[in-house]
Amino acid sequence: MMSYCFNPNCKNPQNSPKAEICQNCNSPLLLTPPVVSEDAEIEKKKIIPSVDSNSTDSNSTIINQSRYRILKLIGYGGFGRTFLAVDEANPLQKVCVIKQFFPQNKNYHQNYPQSSETISRSGELKVKTTCEKAAKLFQQEAQQLKTLGSHPQIPELFQYFQQDEQQYLVQEYIEGKNLAQELAEKGVFTEAKIRELLNDLLPVLQFVHKYQIIHRDIKPENIIRRTTGKLVLVDFGAAKVIEKKGLPQTGTIIGSAAYTAPEQLMGKAVFASDLYSLGVTCIHLLTQVSPFDLFDSRNSKWVWRDYLKMPVSDEFGRILDKMLQSATNRRYHSAAAILRHLNPQSNYMETVYFSASSAVPKKLTPQAEIRQELQEVLALESVKVQVSRVKKTLTIVISRKSDKKVNYPQILKIISAKLTDLKLPNIDKVKLLGRANGKTLPEWQQVLRINHQARWKNKIVRLQKSQSFLNISQLGTQSFWLARFREREFWLDTLMFALTWFIFGYQIIILHPLIALIIASAFMTVKYQVGKQNKLATNNLFATVATIFLIVGLLGLRFWVYDIFGLLLGCLFVALPIFYVREEMGI
């Protein structure tokens, strides 16, 4: 693999693998972040550079002395480039992605005299404004990744810094191919594959929108499938933070035109804009036809069904149609709503049903809120819902238009699943009545009774679909352990656990040797919980544990402690990670 020069003006950037100076422009080939961050704007915007694990100075913002060697150019645009690089300061030679921001328009104007008629004063101002906006978006991407990078399906931010009037963003390298490449190699997606895509990606959008962020550039090129099969949403350079509720304010028009929602083209992006872009992505993957050709501008409607190579079900087609609605009030407003319609069938079908899409059920008791929830899940059925309650009996009246038939069995399944999700207290029976508008007698009725056996089984299903259970289930996968074995912190944690067990199991025995296992486990739990909210000086903590181990080992100390002193000693050791929280500046 060659070394690539990151100087934007270098004419021949290819160099030998181990070279440190570019043979063409004499620029250094190893990109080294500054020892101390000099950009005050980073602190103001709370973009926190990576912190050197061996540093103990709390009076300055110290960042890792990583030495990044650029391997190759993988992307190029009007305001910067994207490289594949390796961190040579990392013992594992970790591969990463580096984004370099430099407005080429700035260099373009420097090549012309100020008196040139080619560039007017207003033109210079416009270019300057564009460059400033691009710089702001570059900083914004770092902020978004810092906020969202904890999600396994969003790239993690490693570092963000400025050097030689250029900005650099170092982030996790996602090994795999994007969906545009997958489409070109394997051909059109099937309905099953698109359903799988939506079930995989919609929870990611839920997470992003939860932090009041709109991605604004969802398209096949920005969705990468890892080698493990999991999808990752990348490129948050166009993302926008919603600061307060209310009407969307006009802003910059950003995104890929073919996938951009109408309101976003007018600079008024909302959360539903991402759902529109995801819908366009789906029909492109189903047809392998440009989105521009899938829309009939003469009749102002989507004609994607005309280009299908493999048919899709009517139910799934209606879901995509609603995602593609031009008017936001007719489009899905949340990723959760799509998931509910995407998975109406139950995992366990008895008297009551459980919808697989509801990981955290909500408790709603007011009738108006129950009616609102039911009306939302029945939006595709074109019916109106009325709800009343007498003692422990809930009555639901479903009204249809007199000229339109409805599928009552399907409505029964949807309502059963939703009522189960809501976990309504003190309800033993639900009466369902279906009628046409203007009619007093029902044309259809059904009674649901709470099956307590089904309720307990549904609780088990919910537990199995909870995030905690899914995290635990990953422990049995080969990919999880392979990833952990490549992490330096994993080996430090393993050694600290073993050393703690040895100290309290063989040298300082409190009550019983098995208590050492409890102390070691509690120690690692405290370290994990503290590390989730704070930056830990892990190296220093390890050094302390190792020192205690060496002292008690070399001195040959071995004694039993049965009184309150032993318990206090064990508690003090368990709390040790709290004393190694690193203070960070600029927060």
Q: In this structure, is the dihedral angle defined by the CA atoms of residues 33, 158, 181 and 204, taken in order, positive or negative?
A: negative
Cα(395)–Cα(387) distance, rounded to whole angstroms?
A: 6
Cα(202)–Cα(219) distance, rounded to whole angstroms?
A: 14
Closest CA to 102 of 168, 42, 33, 36: 168
Model confidence at 48, pLDDT cuts 50, 70, 90, reads very low
Looking up tokens 């003006």 gives 9
**What average pLDDT does range 342-371 have in this prediction?**
50
Cα(193)–Cα(146) distance, rounded to whole angstroms?
A: 31
Structure tokens at 331: 């489009």
Contact by Cβ (8 Å): 39, 563 = no
- State the helix-helix crossing angle for 335-342 and 367-377, rounded to 10 degrees: 70
More confident residue, 504 or 116: 504
Query: Which tens digits make up the pLDDT trace of 225-234?
Result: 998 889 999 8
pLDDT at 231: 95
Q: Is the pTM above the cut of 0.85?
A: no
pLDDT at 279: 97
Looking at 39, 87, 217, 421, which residue is catalytic?
217
Q: In this structure, is the dihedral angle defined by the CA atoms of residues 263, 268, 272 and 275, taken in order, positive or negative?
A: positive
pLDDT of 63 above 60: no
Query: Catalytic: 217?
Result: yes
- Burial (CB < 10 A; 0-12, 13-18, 19+), residue 561, is middle
**What average pLDDT does range 75-83 have in this prediction?**
76
Closest CA to 388 of 409, 367, 407: 367
Q: Which residues contact 255 (CB under 8 A, 6 or more apart)?
A: 216, 217, 238, 264, 269, 277
Please tell me whether residue 424 adopts helix, strand or coil conformation. coil
Contact by Cβ (8 Å): 110, 174 = no
Average pLDDT, the chain: 78
Structure tokens at 207: 């997470």
Q: Which domains does the chain have, with CATH numbers?
A: 29-172 (3.30.200.20), 176-342 (1.10.510.10), 346-472 (3.30.70.2960), 487-582 (no CATH)
Model confidence at 66, pLDDT cuts 50, 70, 90, reads low
Structure tokens at 585: 């500046």
Fill in the DSSP letter of residue 296: E
pLDDT at 465: 64
pLDDT at 260: 92
More confident residue, 459 or 115: 459
pLDDT at 362: 44
571 residue type, one letter: C
pLDDT at 249: 42
Q: Which residues contact 125 (CB under 8 A, 6 or more apart)?
A: none
Query: Which tens digits make up the pLDDT trace of 423-441?
Result: 777 788 889 999 988 887 8
Cα(293)–Cα(289) distance, rounded to whole angstroms?
A: 7
Contact by Cβ (8 Å): 221, 178 = yes
Query: Which tens digits make up the pLDDT trace of 160-173?
Result: 888 877 888 888 89
Q: Which of 29-43, 163-177, 217-231 has the lowest mean pLDDT?
A: 29-43
Please tell me whether residue 416 adopts helix, strand or coil conformation. helix
pLDDT of 414 above 70: yes
Helices of type H across 240-393: 262-265, 271-287, 314-323, 335-342, 367-377
Model confidence at 451, pLDDT cuts 50, 70, 90, reads low
pLDDT of 44 above 50: no
Cα(331)–Cα(323) distance, rounded to whole angstroms?
A: 6
More confident residue, 486 or 105: 486
pLDDT at 116: 35
Cα(545)–Cα(568) distance, rounded to whole angstroms?
A: 17
Closest CA to 258 of 210, 224, 304, 227: 304
pLDDT of 307 above 70: yes
pLDDT at 131: 55
Model confidence at 290, pLDDT cuts 50, 70, 90, reads very high
**What average pLDDT does range 185-200 have in this prediction?**
94
Query: Which tens digits make up the pLDDT trace of 88-123?
Result: 887 777 889 998 876 654 443 333 333 333 334 444
pLDDT of 474 above 80: no
Count CA atoms closer than 13 A to 151's CA, side-chain side.
Answer: 22
Q: Which residues contact 243 (CB under 8 A, 6 or more apart)?
A: 212
Fill in the DSSP letter of residue 576: G
Contact by Cβ (8 Å): 202, 339 = yes
pLDDT of 584 above 70: no
pLDDT at 185: 94
